[in-house]
Structure 1
Amino acid sequence: MKDEVDPMRRQEQAVTMSSGRSTLPAPLVEQLLNSMDVRIEAFAVCRVGANAALAIPAVNELKIIYVLTGTVYLSVEGCEQQELPPGSIVLIPKNRTQVQAGGKAPEHRFDVKGALHKGPHDLMYLDAFDGTHEIQVLCGWLRLGLTAEFNAFDGLLNPISANLNSSAFVRSAFETMIDETRFRTAGSRTLANTLMKACMVELFRHGLARAEPDRGSPAIFLKPGLSRAVTAILSQPAAPHSVASLAKIASMSRSAFAKAFEETMGTTPIEFVGRARLAKARDLVLATDDPIASIAESVGFASRSHFSSRFRERYGEDPSAYRKRMTAVSATERFASVTSICARTDESPLKVNANEGTPDEANEGLGRKTVRSGGST
């Protein structure tokens, strides 16, 4: 009698053998993209003249640009210049300077301080032109990760780019995001974040479909074993995960799995489990009226007191107080201003637990290190 093989793993093996490299089968890609959390921090429209350049300083945020009109020559620190026609979208790593130009060798250079101004309905503009402009680029500052609290793309090494000019949906989505930024009403932030997530799905899907997906996709999308482990954690954060059980899901040895996971995700498997549990708990605290003790138990914490302690470490207050405060926040909360984002050159690192105390407490430890996410230039 032949051994039974999991259909997803059979498909995964076939993809690997046919392509000569490890790529994900469609079901795993679907699970990862579904788990992705996207939040817009700020928006601005960059308007650049044909013979001008706009220099944007490095900030501690992921940046997204979408070319609305004209052809942009984009230079990102450490990368070759890219020529971007309308419909191009680029995800730019943290802490990288960038220059958006109307030509390969522009004569006039503008910086953010002199170019920034507020337009109608509070939308921010960055203008780099004398007289007229031919280029408009939507610039956004993002938080992007697997779950709302784990920024798995913090360590993106190179820009990820795609020409999506054939996608009417993507253009319509960005135009709608601009309108939602201009005319903020209840639900504007939620709608804008949802549309941005859809555009990120298109960007990553485009990268995975390329002849060399490893040049246009985050590393987690290229490692089937790790992806299975990550999706297992995200789909069932309360399960009694261990390095051994997750290594088995990944079809790897315990030591090889632990090393590969930390290199790719920037944190240990158990630290990731703890972060996933807190992220799920936060969602339940905000979306339900369930007792805090019930929420703690449902996401895998041994006691309410232990959960509250970990929650307070992460969010600065007890779950009950957090629920009360967040419920009172206006639904029309503004997007952050571009000036405040540009001024934020440093960000306090998250605290890393020393994993001291009981085994259960160590299992909930939180941490953050550099993530290796891959990408293309």
Structure 2
Amino acid sequence: MANQDQLSDVFATLRLRSDVYFRADLSGGFSILVPAERRLIRFHFVLNGVGGVRLGGDWVEMEEGDLVIVPNGAGHVIADCPDRAPVPLPDVLGGGAMGEDGVLTYGSGEGRLQLLCGYCGVDEAVDHPVVAGLPPSIVLRTRDLGHEPWILASLRLLALESGLAAQGMNGTLSRLLEILLIQTLRRVPPPGEGAGYMAALADPKLSRALSAMHADPARPWTILDLARVAGMSRAGFSDRFTRTVGLPPLGYLTTWRLLKARRLLRETDLAIDEIALRCGYASLPSFTRRYKAAYGIGPGAYRRAERPR
């Protein structure tokens, strides 16, 4: 269980997907309000020039090679300076700024910022701590990544591929955004510093408990069982797990069981009662009630909606 790749397992279950919105070529004094949109994780990669992102009251400067990530679909402003009044993105698009080449061209005058803008998304009906616990913004600066060549290589490949304009470019860029998201999530503080799902994975004791739940969700786990796996006292384990992950141990177990069931309903032909058993539910009615309470739709209806004739 120690070598189980839990992060890949989580994102496969959450149905991670990505795409490129457009390239932006912004000049002069500009300020564009990007509206809030569902639970998308937005990306702005600087191909050339300087500018910044304003998120709430915070201003994040960015320059060539930097990547700014805005999680949870939050609205934000892209501008040349922090105090310029923004124009909503729909108004910019409505003014004919989007060209047939997929480049959004806006503004005039001195100064220039060229961006590649895209997003990653997950199954919006589910709420896993790995996504819910992301900070308001994440910035990757090439000048700070000398000790992390794997992320630096991904950023450089993103820049090279965006300039290639070859067949398959969007597909390649989309996969690179997913790679960068996962690489970024692995940049967590040392155990005992900070909180969140990735901090729990970096904690040897909590990671053992998470691995046990992921490997055998059908087992009737108790907090005492999981504490023994972690090598901790019952009270100490429960408190540390809850503070770090943001959910109590059995609350996380329920979340993972239902996510696992959702994936099995979508990707297999197993009978629903068999899926219930594999995910820790001894009876079909109890599984159905819990699934519907979590997602607003029963397991059978979900399967039919996901796999139409």
TM over 0.5: yes
Matches of 1:105 and 1:253 in 2, distance apart?
A: 50
Counterpart residue number, 2:89: 112
Query: Residue type matched to 2:51 in 1?
Result: V
**Partner of residue 228 from structure 1, selected from 186, 192, 208:** 208
Counterparts of 1:257 and 1:235, CA distance in 2: 19
Shift of 1:128: 4.2
* 1:243–1:269 CA contact under 8 A, matched in 2: yes
CA distance in 2, matches of 1:328, 1:120: 36
| 1:354-369 superposed matches below 5 A | none
Equivalence for 1:289: 269
Bigger relative contact order, structure 1 or 2 (CA pairs below 8 A, ≥6 apart) = 1
Q: Following superposition of structure 1 onto structure 2, how do residues 2-13 of structure 1 map, counting pairs within 5 Å?
A: none
Equivalent pairs counted in the alignment come to 290
Q: Which residue in 1 is equivalent to 2:134?
A: 156
CA–CA distance in structure 2, aligned partners of residues 172 and 203 of structure 1 = 20
Taking structure 1 as reference, are residues 179 and 253 closer, same or farther at Cα in structure 2, changes over 3 Å only? farther
Q: 1:63 aligns to what?
A: 42
Relative to structure 1, the CA distance from residue 111 to residue 169 in structure 2 (aligned partners, 3 Å threshold; closer, same or farther) is same
Secondary structure of the equivalent of 2:45? strand
Aligned with 2:178 (options 158, 175, 197): 197
Hey, what's the Cα distance between the residues in 2 that align with 1:299 and 1:121?
A: 49
Query: How far did residue 161 of structure 1 move?
Result: 1.9
Shift in alpha-carbon separation, 1:293–1:33, aligned structure 2, 3 A: closer
Unaligned runs of 5+ in 1: 1-5, 9-26, 183-187, 330-377
Q: 2:66 aligns with which of 88, 96, 101?
A: 88
Task: Out of 113-122 and 149-158, give the one that drifted further.
Answer: 113-122
CA contact (8 A) 1:87 1:166 kept: no
Does 2:299 correspond to 1:319?
A: yes
Q: Is contact 2:196-2:246 (8 Å) kept?
A: no
Measure, in 2, the Cα distance between the counterparts of 1:217 and 1:320: 30
Aligned-residue CA RMSD (Å): 4.2
Tell me if the contact between 2:28 and 2:108 (Cα under 8 Å) persists in the aligned partners.
no
Q: TM-score, normalised by structure 2?
A: 0.73
Give the structure-1-normalised TM-score: 0.61
Identical aligned residues as a percent: 25
Aligned-partner Cα distance in 2 for 1:224–1:267: 18
How far off its partner does 1:195 sit?
A: 4.6
Task: Give the letter aligned to residue 32 of structure 1.
Answer: L
Aligned: 1:137 with 2:115: yes
The counterpart of 2:240, out of the listed 236, 254, 260, is 260
Counterpart secondary structure, 2:218? coil
Q: CA deviation at 1:265?
A: 2.4
Q: Which runs of 5+ in 2 are unaligned?
A: 143-151
Q: Deviations over 1:108-151 (max 9, x none)?
A: 7433242235847896x765424798323333454459x96524
Cα distance, 1:260 vs structure 2 = 2.5
Question: 1:302 Cα shift?
Answer: 0.5
One-letter code aligned to 1:203: T
Instruction: Tell me how far apart the structure 2 counterparts of residues 230 and 279 of structure 1 sit (CA, whole Å).
Output: 14
Indicate the residue corresponding to 1:358 in structure 2. none
SS of 1:281 mapped into structure 2: helix
- Determine the structure 1 residue equivalent to 2:220: 240
Q: Go from structure 1 to structure 2 and tell me whether the alpha carbon gap of 1:321 and 1:94 turns closer, same or farther (over 3 Å shift).
A: closer
